[in-house]
Chain A
């Protein structure tokens, strides 16, 4: 969160993240090329590099895709989410290296422009064994480029969040194109069943983790959707004070969206659960330095007003809250973002 844009907002965690990522890539490429040269002495360096970069990009894309559902299933994976954009940009760079080398090796040595050659050298679109799989990979690379080049927060703000998210959801189209690219290309030429098994396992893990996390979210929403009003019909009984851990929140659904009911310093405050930055789940974060801190990217809000501490300008809607007999009661009508609401005191109302 910042008032002006910077190039890359590196902090200690992001530096560690990127260092681990860089070391992992170097290790993977070294192993792939070393083992490849040992197991297949006839393979050229160019071929090993093309395949090394390509498989590295595919592996990284799998990691990018499973981080989201993993975090929904188990919060211990949240540190992986924190800097996922760098992972995505790195995926594009690996894919670009793969494509650049492949175009050079297979299309740049003839009379035709290499890109013209890419488009016209194989047009057997109706033949499964001879399908021009290269064009599928090129399509995926274009999508990954659009995602990488718009990964900065400038684009999130200026494309508007819904457009930015729709653009970045096209990662699934890129993934489908890459699966087809690999299936129709490399797997047709390879006889090693390990490759097919690895690709199948990757696809199965992406699909199954999305299904599991999605079904958990639907179940959680159906259980937390509340309609039990108090006698006056203004407040909804959402939970017991004891159900909320200190400096943490309980998430329930009110007014068609999730709210986060935070307990801290003997008080209760209620905010919309949706972070203004990228819709991160505020209720899965905790209170750090007196502020509700989004678990995704660290955006912060004051719990009583839903406003980011000055000079920051992000705001989320708040809700009126009271505690009666150890129960937390919330008025389901959202207040305008940034509206201060007096927190409910726990001590004065805990008994009963």
Chain B
């Protein structure tokens, strides 16, 4: 039981360490490529989102690699009914 718990914690710890390393690189280089609005953003903002980047690093890595730049707008029946495109 103790060994299993140690393994679980070790895997969790490795995930967080990779996330922390990724977060440093992402917040320095990648963030502006994923979201242009983050270009030139202050250090306070980057520190504020650091814990989230550590926790959700696989998602952000996939977006960074995928080159998706423009955040998507939420759909609803009015946006769909209007053709969905912005004027």
- Chain A residues proximal to chain B, CB less than 8 Å: 3-8, 112-113, 115-116, 119-120, 123, 145-146, 148-150, 152, 154-155, 157-162, 255-257, 259, 272, 274, 276, 279, 307, 315-317, 333-339
Contact = CB atoms under 8 A, between A and B. Distances in A.
Nearest to B82: A334
Nearest to A258: B78
A283 B86 CA distance: 21
A334 B83 CA distance: 9
Contact of A335 (B48, B60, B71, B82): B82
Contact of B86 (A123, A146, A272, A338): A338
Given A158-B63, A337-B86, A338-B86, A5 B78 contact: no
Contacts of A338: 86-87
A148 B52 CA distance: 8
B1 A120 contact: yes
A276 B73 contact: yes
Given A112-B2, A120-B1, A154 B38 contact: yes
A110 B38 CA distance: 46
Contacts of B51: 145, 148-149
Contacts of A339: 82, 87
Given A120-B5, A256-B77, A276-B73, A158 B86 contact: no
Contact of B56 (A150, A160, A259, A333): A150
A6 B44 contact: yes
Given A158-B34, A274-B76, A315 B87 contact: yes
A120 B44 CA distance: 39
A7 B82 CA distance: 35
9 contacts: A6-B44, A116-B5, A149-B55, A157-B71, A257-B76, A259-B78, A279-B76, A334-B82, A336-B87
Interface in B23-59: 34-35, 37-42, 44-45, 47-49, 51-52, 55-56, 59
A336 B78 CA distance: 9
B54 to A, nearest CB: 8
Contacts of B82: 317, 333-337, 339
A152 B60 CA distance: 15
Given A255-B81, A279-B76, 8 more contacts: A5-B37, A6-B44, A119-B5, A146-B55, A157-B37, A160-B72, A272-B76, A338-B86
A6 B42 contact: yes
A336 B42 contact: no
A335 B79 CA distance: 8
B17 interface: no
B48 A152 contact: yes
A154 B59 CA distance: 14
Given A6-B44, A276-B73, A317 B79 contact: yes
Contact of A255 (B5, B49, B78, B83): B78
B85 interface: yes
Contact of A149 (B35, B52, B74, B76): B52
